[in-house]
Amino acid sequence: MSSGSSKDKEKARVSRTSLILWHAHQNDAAAVRKLLQEDPSLVNATDYDNRTPLHVASLHGWIDVAKCLIEFGADVNAQDRWKNTPLADAEGSKRTNIIELLKSHGGLSYGQTGSHFETRVVPPPLPNKCDWEVDPSELDFSSAARIGKGSFGEILKAHWRGTPVAVKRILPSLSEDRMVIQDFRHEVNLLVKLRHPNIVQFLGAVTDRKPLMLITEYLRGGDLHQYLKDKGSLSPSTAINFSMDIARGMAYLHNEPNVIIHRDLKPRNVLLVNSSADHLKVGDFGLSKLITVQSSHDVYKMTGETGSYRYMAPEVFKHRRYEKKVDVYSFAMILYEMLEGEPPFASYEPYDGAKHAAEGHRPAFRAKGYVPELQDPKIFHILGLCLRDINQF
């Protein structure tokens, strides 16, 4: 009984930690205050990167959330995995109001992004003399069309030397943001290493001028999200063919000893080569993680709640240790969506769906006609990713 009670308490603690970090990120000071009134110890709760709610509020400039946290005794000089204090984050993202607040409460600027450590803006992310460095004057945006948008920039269809390409362009206002530059550098460094028929091909980047840009092949078929929105549920044979393409790409990424965990595998990040949808590729590696495997059983402490809630593995949601199987879970959710014609836990909001999955639930199949085809052991051998949760559907 005591063991069960301890597990329940641990689950509750993990849930509350996720909630306060989430509400701090969402600038919801009222929700943060309510949680702290219920449990004041949450004020210094940390994720697996040792980042506290005050780190989150300082990075984004959420002054009301920061004041609330300080009122409840937040450690203004807590250091995350990179030894950054909240003030270092505030200085790195130029949040003047937060900087003044933290300094008035004894905040110090230590860490990789703090002025105590480094006063200069991070230099261009990669050497200028790379053979893939693109002169921005070669990019033609005269007939550009936006095909995607994110927190840090936009993705445009443009032309490079007469060829259609996809260009991820960092917003000018963020071109000197240290964390944005760090993420950009990480994605370019990763893409340079990737070569596979089921991985979106990196073509080049602009790293020595503003705005920073990342250039990949342009795939005319659009993304799987829109395709499923238009088509609804797919036939078992089509779903299997699509799954095999995704699985081949993911098996390449997961190949040891240098394993790449995608961490944001979802239909929007799976692209169709053409309108015939006869070939798929995995793309968008902004949240991917490159690790060197010492043992086939290694697990890693990485940032919790990374990626999209709808397709997020339970161990990521709960800030637990995880490894490449988190991509397998996301893959299973995509396969479910292809067969059912709707996302997993469609009746839930994304966060609530992830929480429901973390509590042990799995989306239920409504139609049963395709089950015999999917039970063919040859199919599972070809997919190669071991759908660990298929027996729970």
The pLDDT tens digits for 53-69 are: 999 999 889 999 999 99
Looking at residue 295, its pLDDT comes to 42
Which residue is catalytic, options 47, 80, 264, 327? 264
CA-closest candidate to residue 304, choices 28, 9, 56 = 56
**Is residue 2 pLDDT above 60, yes or no?**
no
Mean pLDDT of 303-325: 75
- The token duo for 183 is 């993420």
Q: Residue 88: exposed, middle, or buried by beta-carbon count in 10 A (0-12, 13-18, 19+)?
A: buried
| CA–CA separation, 304 and 51 (whole Å) | 10
Number of helices and strands (H, E) in the chain? 14, 9
Is 245 one of the annotated active-site residues of the chain?
no
Same fold, 136-217 and 224-392: no
Residue bearing the bigger pLDDT, 141 or 275: 141
Instruction: State the pLDDT at residue 113.
Output: 54
Q: Give me the pLDDT at residue 326, please.
A: 87
> pLDDT at position 62, please?
95
- Mind listing the pLDDT tens digit for each residue in 12-33? 667 788 889 889 988 999 999 9
Q: Is residue 293 predicted with pLDDT exceeding 60?
A: no
Count other Cβ atoms within 10 Å, centred on residue 37: 9
- Domain locations in the chain? 2-104, 136-217, 224-392
Higher pLDDT, 347 or 193: 347
pTM reported for the whole predicted model: 0.61
Cα–Cα distance between 156 and 147 in angstroms, integer? Answer: 5
Is there a contact between 143 and 114 (Cβ–Cβ < 8 Å)?
Answer: no
Is residue 125's pLDDT more than 50? no
Q: Express each pLDDT in 273-283 by its tens digit.
A: 988 888 999 98
How far apart, in whole angstroms, are the C-alpha atoms of residue 348 and residue 356? 9
- Per-residue pLDDT, 304: 39
Placement of tokens 């239920």 in the chain = 364
Q: Which CATH code is given to the segment(s) 136-217?
A: 3.30.200.20
Mean pLDDT taken over the chain: 80
Q: What is the pLDDT of residues 143-154, one digit of tens each?
A: 999 888 766 778
Class of domain 2-104: mainly alpha
Read off the pLDDT band of 131 (50, 70, 90): confident
Q: If we measure between CA atoms, which residue out of 249, 218, 233 comes closest to residue 148?
A: 218
pLDDT at 346: 92
Architecture of domain 224-392: Orthogonal Bundle (1.10)
